[in-house]
Amino acid sequence: MSVLDEILAGAAEDLRERMDQTSLDDLKAQAARQHEALDPMPAFRGDGVSVIAEVKRASPSKGELAAIKDPAALAADYAAGGAAAISVLTEQRRFGGTLEDLRTVRANVDVPVLRKDFITTSYQLWEARAAGADMALLIVAALEQLALESLIERARSIGLTPLVEVHDEDEVDRAVDAGADLIGVNARNLKTLEIDRGTFERLSPRIPDGVVKVAESGVRGPHDVIEYAKFGAHVVLVGETLVRGDDPRASVADLVAAGAHPALQHRW
């Protein structure tokens, strides 16, 4: 069993417990009380490289990364540093996250918020919207094609922007066939947890023009933002580097400044 399979099994067990506690109708009622979802795509399609900054306590590969006592304050620092969106890990077993983290972040920032989790059902999309998310991660490797297509459609229908994550050529083709217009290339292999920064360079040309390309994992600093941009990245998603740093606001600002380099403008 791969690491991804283990995570999915745990996530499914936790999901069953939440479904026993909260009905789908209740989630829909909560979602209806939320403000209209924010659209990240205008910023992502703008000049330069946008930054999605992540609230991330732990990871399967590194264990505990940071004791984040106040995710709202961290997210506020990210936003003040210029992050175009905030990603919040909500998977609890391997990443130490919760939906409460997402709710508190949503209440304290004015930029789009991504629910990053192992989503395999429409119930989880409604959970995301009910907690105030504007975006939801869909991992191609975790989904059959019909399920992927259905979840992309459902996400959009309830106001969520789906970020569709891929790891290899076949998954890129599947994401494109499913109609994804925001594709994240994860440099981390979810089966081995190893990072290969060449993954984005290899897969980027396979993603059609007009689709927003997100480089996920492997961003250690401004130089990696510029390097990913050379191969077509419009957005970078950064977690570990930021939560382990001493000054998250300044760290995000440095990444944003790198993404605003004159050479990276007007790439659409």
171 in catalytic set: no
217 has catalytic annotation: yes
Residue 189 is among the residues annotated as catalytic for this protein: no
Candidate list 91, 127, 201, 216, residue with the active-site label: 216
Query: Closest by alpha carbon to 7, among 87, 94, 90?
Result: 94
CB atoms within 10 A of CB 13: 10
| Separation between Cα atoms, residue 185 and residue 180, nearest integer Å | 13
Give, in order, the Cα–Cα distances in Å from 17 to each of 23, 94, 256: 11, 17, 40
Dist CA 218 CA 133 (whole Å): 25
Taken in order 51, 55, 61, 63, the sign of the CA dihedral is: positive
Among residues 190, 202, 193, 267, which one has the least CA distance to residue 235? 267
- Annotated catalytic residue within 87, 189, 204, 217: 217
54 is catalytic: yes
116 annotated active-site: yes
The residue from 50, 186, 204, 251 that is catalytic is 186
Q: Are 51 and 84 in contact (CB under 8 A)?
A: yes
Helix (H) / strand (E) element for 152: namely: helix 145-157
Q: 10 Å Cβ neighbour count for 105?
A: 27
Catalytic residue among 165, 171, 201, 240: 165
Q: Which of 116, 189, 213, 251 is catalytic?
A: 116
Choose, from 50, 54, 122, 213, the residue flagged as catalytic: 54
CA 83 to CA 77: how far, in whole Å?
9
Residues with catalytic roles:
54, 56, 116, 165, 186, 216-217
